[in-house]
Amino acid sequence: MKTAAVKPAFNVDELRAQFPILKELVHGKPLVYFDNAATSQKPRRVIKAESAYYATINANVHRGVHTLSTKATEAQEAAREIVRKHINAKHAHEIIFTSGTTAGINLAAASLGQLLLKKGDEVVISGMEHHSNIVPWQLACERHGATLKVIPITDSGEWDLKQVPFSGKTRILAISHVSNTLGTINPVKKLIAQAKKQGIVTVVDGAQAIAHLNVNVQDLGCDLYAFSGHKAYGPTGIGVLYGRDELLERMPPWQGGGEMIDTVTLIQSTWAKLPFKFEAGTPNIAGIIGLGKAIRWMEDYDKAVMARHEHALLQHATKELLAIDGLRIIGTAKEKVGVISFVIDPSSASGSGVHHYDLGTLLDQQGIAVRTGHHCTQPLMDRFGVSGTTRVSFACFNSMEEVDTMVAALKKAIKMLR
């Protein structure tokens, strides 16, 4: 009888030792990295895997009979299987490698638009979407004469499920699993079930979910699910689009070139089998291998324990931040990952607000990396009547001491700016 592998205990200090960049100094101060929603840092295992590919294999995949090409192909396809298991897809050929979430959603919008949309049809998104889950659908709607409909956002930063604009003309639902700006964990499974009853194809932007939640695409019931490696401790320039094979078989390719063909004549071409129909050109092989290592690294730890640690960081930071005069958190949903967006409004004590850009600059001078601006969610900023926010986003390697350091630095910066 096989004994289940024992996962190592969650120790933040031991975890941090695996991330070389955390030893760096910024302006002479120890780096406090709170910009994980933009890109997470990489453990040594991932960095070594990419370097080892270039140093010992470095050949193209599926295109050669020589030893290096065979090794590269085996390493890439092993990573595809790692991804399949991690998100519980049925088949490895349902895993399509892309350059990131943006590319995955653009693939979905271009291909589904051609397959499903005609004049008068509707696509539904939500008001909290990243631009990458807005603009591709706008382009698809313009191309095919369809209309974009929007689920409104409540004052707490959640979907208003009483106003979901489904109709008999709705063909596609495209929604984010987790908000990159607010941290809101959305009830995607519930809305997908509702959409399926009406025959609506569902696309999920999982960029912010993959590092924090247990993603099970079969349990969610979605048709397509996109995410990036670089937000889940993996390399930049690599992502995944999962799709149900029945739907992927029907979808036309969105890019033409090498690898995605079966036969080519000067008159017409036929397409390769899945997943290669959607993987035109030389892939980011090193990135794919690195993504596989990043997922295996996450799987070494209990994700529920990681999530509890990140939630404790969120609770502590929220409490400390709300004690600051004039600070207002944008997005107060009951279910959140470790993301806090805030503004400094004029207060009775000071009478003046603070611009997020100035705040981010002064925090950087103290070694603290946060994100400022609209976070590629301008419609969401408009909804809350702000030009931008300061966003703090946590990862499993962050510590309570770092939260306290950030809060102290923030108070200092606000005092300088008021």
DSSP state, 267?
S
Residues linked to residue 151 through DSSP beta bridges, in sequence order: 126
Give the Cα separation of 187 and 190 in Å (integer): 6
Q: Where along the chain do its domains lie?
A: 12-36+303-417, 47-299
pLDDT tens column, 16-75: 999 999 999 999 999 999 999 999 999 999 999 999 999 999 999 987 789 999 999 999
Q: What is the pLDDT along the chain (418 residues), one digit of tens a residue?
A: 445 566 777 799 999 999 999 999 999 999 999 999 999 999 999 999 999 999 999 999 987 789 999 999 999 999 999 999 999 999 999 999 999 999 999 999 999 999 999 999 999 999 999 999 999 999 999 999 999 999 999 999 999 999 999 999 999 999 999 999 999 999 999 999 999 999 999 999 999 999 999 999 999 999 999 999 999 999 999 999 999 999 999 999 999 998 899 999 999 999 999 999 999 999 999 999 999 999 999 999 998 999 999 999 999 999 999 999 999 999 999 999 999 999 999 764 555 689 999 999 999 999 999 999 999 999 999 999 999 999 999 999 999 999 999 999 999 999 999 8
Whole-structure pTM value? 0.96
d(CA 312, CA 59) in angstroms, rounded, equals: 45
293-312 burial, b at 16+ Cβ within 10 Å, e below that, comes to bbbebbeebebeebbebbee
Cβ–Cβ under 8 Å, residues 417 and 359: yes
Domain range 12-36+303-417, its CATH number among 3.20.20.190, 3.30.830.10, 3.90.1150.10, 1.50.10.10: 3.90.1150.10
Q: Which one of 3.20.20.10, 3.40.50.2020, 3.40.640.10, 3.50.50.60 gives the CATH number of domain 47-299?
A: 3.40.640.10
HSE-CB for 69 with a 13 A CA cutoff = 8
Residue 329 CB burial class (10 angstroms; 0-12, 13-18, ≥19): middle
Residues belonging to the active site: 376
